[in-house]
Amino acid sequence: MIKIKNGTTENLDELIELFDQYRQFYKQNSDKKQAKSFLFERLNNQDSMIYIAYLNDKPVGFTQLFPSFSSVSMEKMWILNDLYIAPSARKKGIADELMKTAINFSKETNSKGLRLETSSDNYPAQQLYEKIGFKRETEYFYFYSTR
């Protein structure tokens, strides 16, 4: 059975392994100590909203949302920055449940909606997002500056 719980500092240890695997998926080195510090800060400072998915009481996935705002519409919005499901738990509806939870949270907080991005070669995620109603952005370009 799939259960979704809010991420808190109390269940932080259950989240660290998943977060570390997620970062490795995006070609980052494993660093559980820094992952714990980063997530503790987000939760402790209420900088993000995290949901953890459990399958038969085992943590198998998570999503993390960060608050943002639209100056044009003058509304709050959420950035769905992270979504990860452990390989052994994929194709079991867990990502769908996490996405439904994130969408409901966005509605409950009266936000404009959710914005997300994924790598151009992450086809399973792209299919999921489009299946549940997200639209691929074609009107705007996004630019990044690094340190």
What pLDDT, in 10s, does the model give residues 78-93?
999 999 999 999 999 9
Using alpha carbons, list the distances in angstroms from residue 15 to 10, 40, 55, 64, 110: 10, 10, 14, 11, 27
Read off the pLDDT of each residue in 72-78 and give the average, rounded to a whole number: 95
In a domain, 34, yes or no: yes
User: Does 41 fall in a domain?
Assistant: yes
In a domain, 138, yes or no: no
pLDDT score, position 8: 95
CA-closest candidate to residue 5, choices 79, 97, 89, 80: 97
Residue 147 lies in a domain: no
Q: What total number of domains does the chain contain? A: 1
pTM: 0.91
Summarised one tens digit per residue, pLDDT across range 8-42 is 999 999 999 999 999 999 999 999 999 999 999 99
Sheet arrangement for strand 75-85? 2-6, 49-55, 58-70, 75-85, 114-116
Q: What mean pLDDT comes out for the span 106-121?
A: 91
What is the residue range of 10's domain?
A: 2-131
* Residues shown for the chain: 147
Which amino acid is residue 7, in one-letter code?
G
Looking at residue 78, which CATH number applies to its domain? 3.40.630.30
